[in-house]
């Protein structure tokens, strides 16, 4: 008997966003059927469910040496969706071995927004070296060098910008960083209308920074 899937596998902005979330904060169980998504942010859990059109039980778990950090997690059992994710390039042990993913160009920036919400960052500051110099950076993160190189190439293919990849000696993660000029090209692609599914607090922070920059 062929397995039946509970998730509708069809590319859309919301679906691509969820793939981005899974790329950063998701995992594939070794049993060949379960997909797990973990986040400290309840809004991302809701976005994940909304993007897949499901309503699963949300659980909590503690992490850290003293179990002080609380995380939400959701588990979905779907063999067909699991196999679909394998076909995209995700694996059960993806952390350091992840490479490029088979994401349609049409939905790449929706995928990238999910990637950014899951594990990216945006920070801004006034540079004391220059008067009225307001700086900000958009950062994408991965533990896999191959994956961060793929991200850099894909963004370059679309927007003709390079960014800068860094890795601290005492850390195991790579950061793909874009300064203000390049961020002003990326951000409109991520938030191309008011209705895109996203982490609202991160979007609000970015909108505040853009308003300050426009003054």
**pLDDT tens-digit readout, 1-27:** 455 678 999 999 999 999 999 999 999
| All residues at 6 or more sequence positions from 107 whose CB lies less than 8 Å from its CB, including other chains | 11, 12, 13, 15, 16
Phi, psi values for residue 136, rounded to 5°: -150, 155
For 75-171, where are the alpha helices, taking DSSP H only?
79-88, 108-119, 145-159
Q: Is the pTM of this model over 0.85?
A: yes
Same CATH fold, 116-214 and 13-95? yes
Provide the b/e sequence for 143-166 (b: ≥16 CB within 10 Å). bbeebbbbbbebbeeeeebebebe
Q: How far apart are CA 87 and CA 102, in angstroms?
A: 8
- pLDDT band at residue 95 under the 50/70/90 scheme: confident
Q: How far apart are CA 24 and CA 139, in angstroms?
A: 13
Q: Which tens digit of pLDDT belongs to each residue from 163-213?
A: 999 987 778 899 999 999 999 999 999 999 999 999 999 999 999 999 998
Domain ranges for the chain, please list them.
Answer: 13-95, 116-214
- Determine the CATH number of domain 116-214: 3.10.28.10
| Cβ contact 164:182 at 8 Å | no
Q: Which tens digit of pLDDT belongs to each residue from 122-176?
A: 999 888 776 668 999 999 999 999 999 999 999 999 999 999 999 877 788 999 9
Q: How far apart are CA 149 and CA 205, in angstroms?
A: 27
Q: Which residues pair with 26 in a beta bridge?
A: 37
| All residues at 6 or more sequence positions from 46 whose CB lies less than 8 Å from its CB, including other chains | none
The superfamily in CATH containing domain 13-95 is: Homing endonucleases (3.10.28.10)
Q: What pLDDT, on a 0 to 100 scale, did the predictor assign at position 174?
A: 95
Q: Which tens digit of pLDDT belongs to each residue from 20-57?
A: 999 999 999 999 999 999 999 999 999 999 999 988 88
3-state secondary structure 65-95: CCCCEEEEEEEEECHHHHHHHHHHCCCCCCC
């Amino acid at each position: 008997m062929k397995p039946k899937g509970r998730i509708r596998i069809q590319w859309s902005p919301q679906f691509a966003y969820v793939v981005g979330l899974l790329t950063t904060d998701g995992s594939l169980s070794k049993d060949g059927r379960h997909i797990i998504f973990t986040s400290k942010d309840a809004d991302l859990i809701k976005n994940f469910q909304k993007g897949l059109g499901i309503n699963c039980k949300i659980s909590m778990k503690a992490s850290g040496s003293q179990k002080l950090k609380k995380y939400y997690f959701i588990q979905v059992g779907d063999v067909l969706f699991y196999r679909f994710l394998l076909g995209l390039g995700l694996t059960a042990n993806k952390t350091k071995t992840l490479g490029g993913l088979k994401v349609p160009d049409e939905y790449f920036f929706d995928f990238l927004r999910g990637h950014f919400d899951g594990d990216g960052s945006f920070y801004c500051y006034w540079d004391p070296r220059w008067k009225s110099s307001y700086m900000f950076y958009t950062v994408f993160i991965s533990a896999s060098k191959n994956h961060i190189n793929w991200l850099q190439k894909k963004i370059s293919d679309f927007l003709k910008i390079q960014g800068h990849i860094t890795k601290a000696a005492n850390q195991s993660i790579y950061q793909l960083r874009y300064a203000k000029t390049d961020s002003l090209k990326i951000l409109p692609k991520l938030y191309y209308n008011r209705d895109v599914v996203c982490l609202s607090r991160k979007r609000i922070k970015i909108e505040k920074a853009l308003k300050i920059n426009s003054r």
